[in-house]
Structure 1
Amino acid sequence: MTLLDAALSALASNQLLAGGIGTLAFGSAMYLLRAVPDRTLALVGKTVWTTVFVESMSNEYPDVDAFIEGKRLNFFSRSLEMKDGSLKTGFGGGWGLYQGVLFKYAKTKSAQQLTHFETITIAFLTRDRGVVERFMRDCKPEEHRNSIHISMYGAGGSDGGMRRRKRGLETVFVDRAMKDRLVSRLKWFLGAEEWHASRGIPWKLGVLLHGPPGAGKTSLIHALASDFDFNIKYIKSLHGLGAAFKSGTKNDLFVIEDIDAIAGGLSRDGTKESAIDGGALRGSPLHEILNSMDGMQTPDGLKFIVTTNHLDRLDPAIVRPGRIDEVVEVGPLSVESARAMFRAFYGREGIGAYAPRTGAELQRMFSTMSAEEAEGELGRKVVERVREVA
């Protein structure tokens, strides 16, 4: 008798043993049969769905949140919430239809964050990435397509934001060579990731604009961001600068205005105290700020513009080469720029005698005077200056 014959004989004579083995075999078969569909469905899910995640810290979140409301299938999506005075898509999941493509979404809120944090996950039943790109583009309302988003960052992190209408560079009256220099540098930087990597140089760009109040520094930044379709992240406090920088994307331009004023509470040892954002905070060591601008904490692709009315008041470490890559003086307008501004306001050529004025001074003059009155006033100022020198 072979071993197989002996085993079969034992099973035939012992029904309890035969039942146990049969049950085990049946259970194993069912487990395998159940696992195959689950794994197949998971594989199919990864293959046929295209998923995008949108976080509440991103500029696109409000637009996506509102857009889903008009595309969801209400029969399967009954969760709502009150937001901005109207009912919007609530937390939870649901289904929607966009350009004939079915999508499912889930809106969740994190309970482990110090600040309010939400995520919308959208999965489209298609392999066509173009559908997702069109969805994200169509989410943006018409009025937002001609605007940039400005986010505020204080000592405690994100502090809300607002939208500003885009501004053309041709509406900013500063010397043309200065505008061309900054536009050229930004264009080169955006395409120079490989150039920096091959030379072991951090891929970041720091620009400092300095000059008297009213010279056009803020207007120039607004126009540059508009021209490159950047969103602005506006730094109100240097405390937490590193965390703010890490939140940036390739479409973000960080702006630190009047750095000499907001750096007053910074010290090299962190012992000085200052009132920031309405509360007393211990001053951050200066090296933390410097390392955020150019150090191990500096993220790739970082772009920031710093402004000051008093270049001589800045710590030399802030403006050293490598930390600040471009130092640009924005001063009173040249006669060519002043005449271009005159043409824009009055629609004709003008200005004979001229002594340098800031853009803000000329704007106030051109907004309140006739062309003849403005020319006369500018001429009188030239005569007065000559007499003072004499």
Structure 2
Amino acid sequence: MEAVLQSLSDNPYFSAGFGLFGLGTVAAIARKSTIHGAALLRRRLLVTLEIPSKDKSYAWALHWLTTVEQSMTVSEEATKASWLTKWRPRSHQLSVETSFRQHDNGAATTQFTMVPGIGSHWIKYQGAWMMINRKRDTKMIDLQNAAPWETVTITTLRRDAHLFPAFLKDAKEHALSAQAGKTVIYTSYGPEWRPFGQPRKKRPISSVVLDDGISDRILQDVRRFLDNWKWYNERGIPYRRGYLLYGSPGSGKSSFIQALAGELEYNICILNLSERGLTDDRLNHLMTVMPNRSILLLEDADAAFNKRSQTNDQGYVSGVTFSGLLNALDGVAAAEERLIFMTTNHIDRLDPALIRPGRVDVKVLVDWPSDAQVRRLFAKFYDDESKADRFVDALQKEGGVEGWRPSMAALQGHFIYFRDDPEESIKQVHMLRRDSYSA
């Protein structure tokens, strides 16, 4: 070898540069061969599954990766009933997604969700190692919601490719199991619906105390509608039904709708007609692409339209026109298989065209509580029907000639404040007028 190198160094052509050029060429060929060999080896040994952000499996995969595994251990000092919870997220690189919703009364609700951060994450699934890479392309955006385009790629050995369907199935079942026994609340995000926060525990319909017969009447009507798709279809009737719950504030309208959704195993899509940027086209699109088995809820319909005029209480006017709302409810392009509920505190402010049959089929007054409601609510809190009549009598005396009645929300707050003392709740019934409670 030394002799060869010596001969090359003595060669005038090699010294002139031809030899160096040849070595460089050989090195470049070797480098390219290594790269192509590695790529070929990768193609032969590895397989990659890509999940774009527009695919439903994308959210399921992220949810599965951020699921907190809980292990239960008993502390030495604690009893067997005392457990310590250890958090072990599958992914060690997390980012936060914040859901923020501003309510009409000025209050705000914020939910934080942990998701895998941008980058690579290693997991072991059914004995096979998988590399999961979350990528964000800042040069590409989703034109519908202006969000950066993202993908999740899952890479594993080719021999383990059969695990991909099982992984997606597990991710789906895990995401849906988190919603079992719960109601998912959806809000609009651009032209699509997205879950708002974590699913809510289903509320028993018996927990909402309405006047005699109201709950049963609405529930029976809804069930009859859901069970008669063929009947509607055979007669050429649009398969959709609208309900209007109207009455005083705090009477339980929204609470009943949430409980009804739980009873039917439905979710709720909340649409704010006063939302900035909402247009007629977007409204129609949202009502067409609602998630399956969902109730569309339009709360405080009078807040968006007073008769046929748009309200402007917050310094801007919604892009939705009154005619656009009517067309979305029952126009040519209106969605079928739809269950819609509206609520209002002022039915007199609603245009008759909005609540005519076909747009609103059932109107129910949910107003100030009757004596029967008060008795049932008292008995529900204190499990003592004997004292319920005394509370009703005290409430009637407090109302006097004017017939003043507190709302159901006020009564509930009163019973919560005196939750351990039914006698005191009777004696202090006058506090309902003052609405002044202090700890």
TM-score range normalised by the length of the shorter chain: 0.5 to 0.7
User: 1:285/1:94 Cα in 2 relative to 1: closer, same or farther (>3 Å)?
Assistant: same
Residue 325 (structure 1) shift? 1.4
Partner of 2:116: 88
User: 1:94/1:229 Cα in 2 relative to 1: closer, same or farther (>3 Å)?
Assistant: farther
Residue of structure 2 aligned with 1:366, choices 412, 415, 435: 415
Residue 62 (structure 1) shift? 3.8
Partner of 2:291: 249
Partner of 2:63: 66
Partner of 1:25: none
Partner of 1:113: 143
Aligned pairs for 1:197-216 (under 5 A) are 197-216=233-252
User: 1:380/1:288 Cα in 2 relative to 1: closer, same or farther (>3 Å)?
Assistant: closer
Distance 1:308 1:119 in 2: 43
- Note if 1:235 corresponds to 2:271: yes
| Identity score, percent | 25
Q: Is contact 1:230-1:252 (8 Å) kept? A: yes
Distance 2:336 2:122 in 1: 37
Residue 134 (structure 1) shift? 6.5
- Note if 1:161 corresponds to 2:196: yes
Distance 1:284 1:192 in 2: 32
Deviations 1:192-249 (A, max 9, x none): 2222111111111211100101111111111111222222111122534222212202
Partner of 2:46: none
Unmatched 5+ residue regions in structure 2? 1-48, 68-90, 98-113, 155-160, 397-404, 433-439
Distance 1:351 1:209 in 2: 27
Structure 1 residue matching 2:374: 3-state secondary structure: helix
Deviations 1:64-114 (A, max 9, x none): 4221578xxxxxxxx99743296728699999857x999999988773423
Structure 2 residue matching 1:84: 3-state secondary structure: strand
Residue 266 (structure 1) shift? 5.6
User: 1:87/1:317 Cα in 2 relative to 1: closer, same or farther (>3 Å)?
Assistant: closer
TM-score (norm 2): 0.58
Aligned pairs for 1:139-154 (under 5 A) are 139-140=175-176, 142=178, 144-153=179-188
Aligned residues: 314
Give the aligned CA root-mean-square deviation in angstroms. Answer: 4.4
Structure 1 residue matching 2:141: 3-state secondary structure: coil
Deviations 1:355-385 (A, max 9, x none): 454311211221223312333455999xxxx
User: 1:103/1:244 Cα in 2 relative to 1: closer, same or farther (>3 Å)?
Assistant: farther
Residue 300 (structure 1) shift? 1.6
Q: Is contact 2:208-2:256 (8 Å) kept? A: yes
Structure 2 residue matching 1:208: 3-state secondary structure: strand
User: 1:298/1:344 Cα in 2 relative to 1: closer, same or farther (>3 Å)?
Assistant: same
Partner of 1:224: 260
TM-score (norm 1): 0.65
Distance 1:259 1:141 in 2: 34
Q: Is contact 1:242-1:298 (8 Å) kept? A: yes
Q: Is contact 2:246-2:347 (8 Å) kept? A: yes
